[in-house]
Amino acid sequence: MYPQLHVISTGEDSAEQLLAKVSDIHHDIDFIHLREMHWTEKEVKKTANQLMKVGVPREKIIINTLAQVAHTVGVQGVQLPSNQGNLTKVKKMYPELIVGSSVHSVSEAISKEKEGADYLMFGHVFASDSKRDKAPRGIQALQEVIDLVRIPVIAIGGITPSVTKKVLHTGAGGIAVLSGILKSKEVKKAVHQYKQAMEGWE
């Protein structure tokens, strides 16, 4: 499997700004996550529909937390937080959705795999502006999770193009990036830098 590039919304763009950025880069990324904690369900639904209208394939759109919205809009999947205890229920209610789970430890990873997660997002691996109050878990912790589960593990947290190869060397199924892309002054250039760093990995 080629490593995947997940781009996650930062919560700092307006819907219009996010649409403009994603419409410019969606051909070069694997997934865009709508992770807008302060938006209403209506706003998330509207933006997901707008993304598809500007040409983003529904298969590339993942909505965070709101499984029912993901189902209603008809996008690819939902990303659940680690403390959401109804992963198995979500899988049964919405069998068409790919369901990912955020995890922060080996025990969480094993538990979420047993509950039926299709993939895991582990972090934060390196120091991150969005997690300034918490120490990074590090590359070794990422490796331990990857070694103990059979489903893909996507690494997140402080991942820059310069450390991307080191991350993929662990066997990670891909990387997830927030500010490194969507807060860049040149969003398209930033994506190409990550893609270049990911070249040659299978």
Question: Active-site positions?
Answer: 124
| Residue 152, C-beta contacts closer than 8 angstroms, at least 6 positions apart | 1, 4, 118, 119, 120, 172, 173, 174
Long-range (24+ apart) CB contacts under 8 A made by 36-43 are 36/9, 36/11, 36/64, 37/11, 38/11, 41/66, 41/69, 43/15
